[in-house]
């Protein structure tokens, strides 16, 4: 599988399209908000003749779901989210204006709910799903053992980790998630982050300062 990263909105959120050589794709955490961002996402899909099969959210904080409505209006595809983040998803409409997103179009509700250790497969695209709370109650990551990468949202960042001062955040829970789930992945796993550059499990085990407290 191949991975295309886009960086959208004022939060500099990373949106991902994961696609196969056959042209199937899934869209993960669409943060596109302004027309130019929506068009950039759409152009990549059209120019590469991709067929979207699903929308996946790692979690439902505003910066990761701004483009949900756009994606689902463009493509009639299933939408996956962990049920513990449904309240978070629904709450975005009430505070989007605070961050300047006055024309936010509320996300539709998921058609499928994700669970820990679930395997999801949409044609030739497959992920293991792990529930990874601490940054958000219903946070999940999407791991491809075959392709040696994980779409990890806001759990790990390069040299850092997701903030825990938002509703659903808990530093002790996040540390447990990182040690018991993320750091159990193979050390050469490429980590695609919700913000900033990619990293690896080995690099974060060696340098991440969450290990220091």
Higher pLDDT, 100 or 210: 100
The pLDDT tens digits of the residues spanning 27-70 come to 999 999 999 999 999 999 999 999 999 999 999 999 999 999 99
Structural domain count of the chain: 1
The pair of three-digit structure tokens given for residue 177, joined into one six-digit string = 């998630």
122 neighbors 136 (Cβ within 8 angstroms): no
Q: What range defines the domain where residue 42 resides?
A: 2-212
CATH number of 85's domain: 3.60.15.10
Q: Which residue from 72, 63, 132, 135 is spatially nearest to 92, judged by alpha carbons?
A: 63
Q: Residue 45 in contact with residue 78, Cβ under 8 Å?
A: no
CA distances in angstroms from 145 to 8, 88, 98, 111, listed in the order given: 27, 29, 39, 25
What does the pLDDT look like over 135-175, one tens digit per residue? 999 999 999 999 999 999 999 999 999 999 988 899 999 99
Average pLDDT over the chain, rounded to an integer: 96
User: Phi and psi dihedrals of 184, rounded to 5?
Assistant: -90, -10
Among candidate residues 94, 126, 93, the one with its CA nearest the CA of residue 107: 93
**Does pLDDT of 211 surpass 70?**
yes
């Amino acid at each position: 599988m191949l991975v295309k990263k886009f960086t959208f909105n004022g939060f500099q959120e990373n949106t991902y399209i994961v696609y196969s050589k056959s042209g199937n794709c899934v869209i993960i955490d669409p943060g596109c908000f302004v027309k130019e961002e929506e068009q950039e996402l759409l152009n990549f899909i059209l120019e590469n003749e991709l067929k979207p099969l699903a929308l996946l959210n790692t979690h439902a904080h505003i910066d990761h779901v701004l483009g949900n409505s756009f994606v689902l209006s463009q493509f009639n595809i299933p939408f996956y989210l962990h049920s513990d983040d449904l309240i978070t998803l629904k709450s975005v409409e009430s505070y989007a204006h605070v961050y300047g997103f006055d024309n936010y179009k509320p996300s539709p509700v998921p058609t499928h709910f994700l669970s820990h250790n679930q395997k999801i497969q949409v044609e030739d695209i497959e992920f293991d799903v792990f529930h990874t709370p601490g940054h958000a109650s219903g946070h999940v990551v999407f791991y491809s053992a075959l392709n040696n990468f994980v779409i990890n949202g806001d759990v790990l960042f390069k040299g850092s980790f997701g903030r825990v001062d938002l509703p659903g955040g808990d530093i002790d829970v996040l540390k447990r998630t990182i040690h018991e789930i993320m750091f159990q992945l193979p050390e050469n796993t490429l980590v695609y982050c919700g913000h900033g550059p990619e990293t690896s499990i080995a690099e974060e085990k060696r340098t991440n300062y969450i290990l220091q407290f």
